Copies of this chain bind each other. A is one copy, B any other.
Amino acid sequence: MRIGELAERAGTTTRALRYYESRGLLPARRAVNGYRTYDEDDLRLLQQIRTLQDFGFGLEETRPFVDCLRAGHPAGDSCPASLDVYRRKLSELDALIGQLQTVRTQVGAQLARAELEAGATLPGGPEPRCELTDGLTE
């Protein structure tokens, strides 16, 4: 199979495949005319790469999985190096999620406070019932 068919079957592009090859991640055999040639095993390697990419793994992080498959293991995560990547990714995710939740809380608090202050000074708000200013707005 040539590069176009492989790309289509994996739901990616030829450009991505050439990029992977340039990174040494997915080398290709060559036909006599110079065309890249792939087989079903390459498709499996590529699917492993795509799956991890979709999960947000960097390309380099997919390398242990690909190497593991190429070494003949049944799954890309059958090797210790792959499990290490999983674990590092988990701690990265936990750290990132924690930070984002902190930010979310802070931004939410700022919004609530700002909305309150806006409501306290604008006429469409929750009617502050302040006799001193009521006379001015009516």
Interface residues of A (CB under 8 A from B): 55-56, 75, 77-78, 80, 82-83, 86-87, 89-90, 93-94, 96-97, 100-101, 103-104, 106-108, 110-111, 114-115, 117-118
Contacts and interface: CB of A to CB of B under 8 A. Distances in A.
A45 B84 CA distance: 45
B103 A93 contact: yes
Given A55-B106, A106-B55, A118-B78, A86 B111 contact: yes
Q: Quickly give the copy total for this chain.
A: 2
A101 B107 contact: no
A104 B114 contact: no
Nearest 5 A/B pairs, CB to CB: A86-B111, A77-B114, A93-B104, A97-B100, A55-B103
Contacts of A111: 77, 83, 86-87, 90
Contact of A94 (B89, B104, B110): B104
Contacts of A82: 114
24 contacts: A55-B103, A55-B106, A56-B100, A75-B117, A77-B114, A78-B114, A78-B117, A78-B118, A82-B114, A83-B111, A83-B115, A86-B107, A86-B110, A90-B104, A90-B107, A90-B108, A90-B111, A93-B100, A93-B103, A93-B107, A94-B104, A96-B100, A97-B100, A97-B101
